[in-house]
Structure 1
Amino acid sequence: MKSVLLATTLMIALAGSALAADGDLPEASSYNWSGGYVGGQIGYGFGGADYQYAGGDSYDYSHDPDGLLGGIYAGYSKQFANRLVLGVEADIAWGGLKDQTLAPGDGSYSAATRIDLTGSARLRLGYAIDRLLPYVSGGVAFARFSFDEYNQGDAYSSADESLVGWTLGVGTEYALTDNWTLRGEYRYADYGTHDFVTQPADEAYSTDITTHDIRLGVAYRF
């Protein structure tokens, strides 16, 4: 909830800055954000992964995976006469967000979380200030994670799972040239509660996973 409030505050701040700057701008912008684009991105992600074991809380792991990520994105935007920019965008990113801890009630066991793939399909709403575009975005998010448990360092049981949730983001994009743009973005994703069973131990877990991403992207606009 704190993360959502933070993102919402950032959105309001960006929107307020855009409106405040509006009085200093000419009626027409020399740059138009309409059109399609493709880009590449790099960044840093971190999050939380809490596991509840059906057989008792001695094996309720709590992980804070983090690491670098990189990927691609593509989308299409339409700028209207009132400078609002509405668009759709999809992205996919590969990375190595990971963490490993001992079982809280049994030190002979440990478990590791790894999130190696994330993606989303989102709507994007911005306000054009000539070559500057502050924006907010939101939509569906997905991720792939692995859970690996060890007994005294030896592989014990594991699961590879896919998640679907929602994402909310805020960012600013700047047109370096008529075709090339640079952006900075913060993204929050919540994948809700997910149940899974590890193999070969056949152990049932329930997990809640959330992530935060800070991304830098460069795109070519058509």
Structure 2
Amino acid sequence: MRRLLLAAVICGAAHGAYAADMPDDFPFLRGSQPPSLSTVRTVWQGFYIGGQASYGSADMDFKNSGKDLLERLLNHVDVESQFNLSSWPLGGTSSNRNSGFGGFLGYNLQMEDVVFGVEANYTHSKFLGASSGSQGRSFSYPADYRTSAFVQSNASMQIMDFGSLRVRAGYSLGSFLPYAFGGVAMGQANIRRNASYNLHYQYVGTQIPPLPNLAGGGSLSDNANAHFIYGYAAGLGIDMMIVDGLFLRAEWEFLRFTAPVDTIVNTVRAGAGYRF
């Protein structure tokens, strides 16, 4: 009996010594668990590049497109200072739809589920618009004269290339990244403009002999190829990771270009990209 008891004590002591010599970083000694599946992974962080196809519309407002030309033409004409002929609204709006293609390049920084990024986005397309307009008015000016004024403006614009330099903010939902963005819009366009005016001064006084009737006019054109246009950009989109690094994209983008033709471009895009 004593031998059995002694053997049990020796075995227990040996087991305790063996356990004490085991490394501390064995998980089953610490009672730790494997990393949680909820641990955040930076699925979207890094540089990425991709291509896209687009379809959209361009709405161009030509009402003030010839204002600066008329201001130069009427700079020293008396009726301009009195009746502001150059500010008369001329022309209207034009809308055009077309498809395009392009690409994008950017970088994402992911902090837990929130993703911030910067991106350069480019689209090649052809949006063409044109409009013309004229106005004629008569007024009693100067003294003893009845003056008739006629002004006209013609303009066209073709946008060939445009894009945006944007900042993005999104929220990671596993394989999905919905996001919003805003930034600067840039592009180039061929712009053709022409403005003209005609004036006729008819003497209506009573002086004998009467004062002479007078007339005048002029025109000015401005043609700019690959003219730089700029404005602002905003939009929404969603990226969907297919396999590690490869993702698909769906997006809506709003662009507004301000001068010399006020233009709004709305496009929807579908694309694919790769995150490095």
Per the alignment, in what secondary structure is the counterpart of residue 176 of structure 1? strand
Structure 1 61/159 Cα, relative in aligned 2: closer, same or farther at 3 Å?
Answer: farther
Give me the CA root mean square deviation. Answer: 2.5
* 2:274 is the counterpart of 1:220: yes
Identical-residue share of aligned pairs (%): 27
Gaps of 5+ in 2: 1-36, 71-85, 136-152, 195-220
* 2:96 is the counterpart of 1:76: no
User: Could you tell me how far apart the structure 1 residues matched to 2:242 and 2:90 are?
Assistant: 51
Structure 1 86/31 Cα, relative in aligned 2: closer, same or farther at 3 Å?
Answer: closer
> Deviation of residue 45 (structure 1)?
2.2
User: Could you tell me how far apart the structure 2 residues matched to 1:158 and 1:59 are?
Assistant: 18
* 2:117 is the counterpart of 1:87: yes
1:14-163 matches, cutoff 5 A = 27-28=38-39, 32-51=43-62, 52=64, 53-54=66-67, 55=70, 59-81=90-112, 83-101=113-131, 103-105=132-134, 111-148=155-192, 158-160=223-225, 161-163=227-229
TM-score by length of 1: 0.71
> Deviation of residue 98 (structure 1)?
1.7
Per the alignment, in what secondary structure is the counterpart of residue 182 of structure 1? strand
Bigger Rg, structure 1 or 2: 2
Which residue of 230, 235, 248 corresponds with 1:169?
235
Higher strand share: 1
Moved over 4 A (4+): 56-59
C-alpha contact (below 8 Å) 1:31/1:131 kept by paired residues: no
TM-score by length of 2: 0.58
C-alpha contact (below 8 Å) 1:45/1:68 kept by paired residues: yes
**Which AA in structure 2 matches 1:70?**
F
> How many residues align structurally?
177
C-alpha contact (below 8 Å) 2:186/2:230 kept by paired residues: yes
